[in-house]
Amino acid sequence: MKISEKLSGMFVLHSSLGRTMTIFMLLLLTAVLMVSAWTLNRSWAHKLQDIRSNAVNLSVSQARQAEDTFLQTEITLRAIQRDIPNNGPTYANKAALSAVLAEMKRGLPQLNGLFVYDAQGNWVATAAQTPTGMNNADREYFLYHRKNRHGGSHIGHVIRSRSTGELVIPVSIRLNDSGGGFVGVALATVRIDSFRRFYSYFEMGDGDLLALLLDDGTALYVRPFPDSFINRSLSSSPLFTTQLVRADRGTGTWNSALDNKVRIFGYARSGQYPLIVAAGFDKSALWSQWLHDSMPDLVLNGMLLIVIVMIGTVVLRQVRTNVENQIELTTLRDELTTINQSLQALALLDGLTGLANRRQFDIFLAQNLKRSAISGRPVGLIMMDVDFFKRYNDTYGHVAGDNCLRRVGEALKNLPLRQTDLIARYGGEEFAIVLPDATPDAALRIAQSAVEAVREAAIPHKSTALKDEVVTLSAGCFVLVGSDTGQDAQLIKEGADHALYQAKHNGRNRAVVNEAG
């Protein structure tokens, strides 16, 4: 950027209009930016609020669904329990019991199998064909029931079915004899696939998750994670360390323990079973989606900002042009004023001596005679003429003659005059002094000092007829009180001229006053 452009830019800021426009544009820009930011921020906050509600609602509904599944399963187990003789499943009609189990399973597609074990873990009956010689005494649920006397159902960690190889959740109850002694276990295995299928009905993003968990933090199934995540302990997740400690349902945002992704979670604990459902929405995907949805607003706001900046630029450029024009006009005006003043001065000054010229002399004399006519106070005029100046020119040349006149002018300038007096070059080698409010005596005194000053300047003049051979002056004075008849200037000049003639006639180099006035 050129210096002049920088300067004019600064002038814009320093001019009050430029400053006001700049501040206005900046305020407008800030206001639009703030409104846009506030609107977008609100939109994002609403989006988060919606997601939190969705997450909680989904968790609650899925916790209910899981409860229903396990309740149906428990009811089935209770029905099986009723069909088993008091002294234990060993004494049951195994074929008939298996048929009952098969019939029960048919109505419950979420079940992988129904099983009855005796007190040693031997398979007594199943909903499918009973493989001979199978024993499940090593399973966690079997050991659990053998140890715990309570009659409630037990939901275990996910296992792989020995009969089908499928991943299943074991739901079991203890079988007691009439004395409360352990006589076996009834087991239903719930297909993980049933949850997999059910959870796949929900439209969720790739990074979103829906998890069925045991309340000890074990993952039973987590959509969309692979089966390798099943049975993983999430007990260190904020869900278990902080959220569930505070409330059985709620929302929160934390790094998922499964893949360290930040998700917005909703969760709900089952009131009936030790189950928890959590729904988590990938925050970065939500942000991208929100950005995508907000793009029209962002583009609109961006365009608004660009339009404001463009308008601002045009207005400021216009202001700059105006300021530049103003500066140019002011400079031009100042220059013209200076020129005008010089011209005015030049119009009133004599170019050779720098004294007032004839024009100024005439104006000044006329003004003072007018004032004199009003005040009644006299005006004095001294007319002066360089002696034998023709000879001077002839002897020294015209250039020297001009110099001589300049020096005579200098000598006159040094006279002790009042501020109100005026010395002028009347024309040629003639000079004049106007003395407002002067008596004839005072005028004569000043005329004599003028003659003396020129003589003392000692400008050589070898062709003069006078003996000192220096340039001399003759002066004639006249004093007049103005009468405002229009004749005053002529009268006073004639009076002074007459005295000058007398001075010349009397031998030059002297001053004479004409007392006739």
How far is it, in rounded angstroms, from Cα 475 to Cα 499? 7
Count of chain residues binding ligand GTP (CB under 6 A): 15
How far is it, in rounded angstroms, from Cα 408 to Cα 405? 5
How are beta strands 511-514 and 473-480 bridged, if at all?
A: parallel
DSSP codes of every residue in 25-61: HHHHHHHHHHHHHHHHHHHHHHHHHHHHHHHHHHHHH
Cβ nearer to ligand GTP, comparing 305 with 349: 349
Is position 507 an interface residue for ligand GTP (rule: CB under 6 A)? Answer: no
Q: Binding segment for ligand GTP among 252-260, 356-364, 395-403, 445-453 (CB under 6 A)?
A: 395-403
How far is it, in rounded angstroms, from Cα 232 to Cα 222? 10
How far is it, in rounded angstroms, from Cα 126 to Cα 164? 12
H helix runs in 264-397, sequence order: 283-348, 358-375, 389-396
How far is it, in rounded angstroms, from Cα 288 to Cα 47? 12
Is position 350 an interface residue for ligand GTP (rule: CB under 6 A)? Answer: no
Kindly write out the interface string for residues 57-86 of this chain, putting x where it contacts ligand GTP by CB under 6 A and - elsewhere. Answer: ------------------------------
Distance between the two ends of the chain, CA-based, in angstroms?
76
Is position 387 an interface residue for ligand GTP (rule: CB under 6 A)? Answer: yes
Q: Binding segment for ligand GTP among 15-23, 206-214, 326-334, 396-404 (CB under 6 A)?
A: 396-404
Of 512, 386, 350, whose CA–CA distance to 461 is shortest? 386
How far is it, in rounded angstroms, from Cα 359 to Cα 364? 9
Q: Binding segment for ligand GTP among 59-67, 172-180, 197-205, 382-390 (CB under 6 A)?
A: 382-390
Kindly write out the interface string for residues 92-131 of this chain, putting x where it contacts ligand GTP by CB under 6 A and - elsewhere. Answer: ----------------------------------------
Among 386, 424, 491, 499, the residue binding ligand GTP under the rule CB under 6 A is 386
Cβ nearer to ligand GTP, comparing 252 with 401: 401
Any residues with CB less than 8 A from the CB of 287 and at least 6 apart, and which? Answer: none
Q: How far is the CB of 398 from ligand GTP (least distance, A)?
A: 4
Q: How far is the CB of 11 from ligand GTP (least distance, A)?
A: 51
What single-letter amino acid sits at 385? D
Q: Binding segment for ligand GTP among 4-12, 35-43, 144-152, 397-405 (CB under 6 A)?
A: 397-405
6-29 per-residue burial string, b: 16 or more CB within 10 A, e: under 16: eebeebbeebeebeebbeebeeee
Is position 358 an interface residue for ligand GTP (rule: CB under 6 A)? Answer: no
Is position 406 an interface residue for ligand GTP (rule: CB under 6 A)? Answer: no
Contact 462, 451 (CB under 8 A): no
Cβ nearer to ligand GTP, comparing 168 with 473: 473
Among 402, 441, 468, 484, the residue binding ligand GTP under the rule CB under 6 A is 402
Identify the H or E element spanning 215.
none
How are beta strands 167-176 and 159-160 bridged, if at all?
A: antiparallel
307-326 per-residue burial string, b: 16 or more CB within 10 A, e: under 16: ebeeebeebbeebbeebeee
Is position 398 an interface residue for ligand GTP (rule: CB under 6 A)? Answer: yes
Among 378, 401, 495, 517, the residue binding ligand GTP under the rule CB under 6 A is 401
Beta-bridge mates of residue 514: 478
Kindly write out the interface string for residues 425-464 of this chain, putting x where it contacts ligand GTP by CB under 6 A and - elsewhere. Answer: ---xx-----------------------------------
Q: How far is the CB of 405 from ligand GTP (least distance, A)?
A: 6
Of 201, 173, 202, 171, whose CA–CA distance to 185 is shortest? 173
Is position 214 an interface residue for ligand GTP (rule: CB under 6 A)? Answer: no
Cβ nearer to ligand GTP, comparing 84 with 383: 383
Q: Binding segment for ligand GTP among 36-44, 313-321, 391-399, 494-502 (CB under 6 A)?
A: 391-399
Contact 83, 101 (CB under 8 A): no
Where on the chain is the footprint of ligand GTP (CB under 6 A)?
385-391, 393, 398, 401-402, 405, 428-429, 504
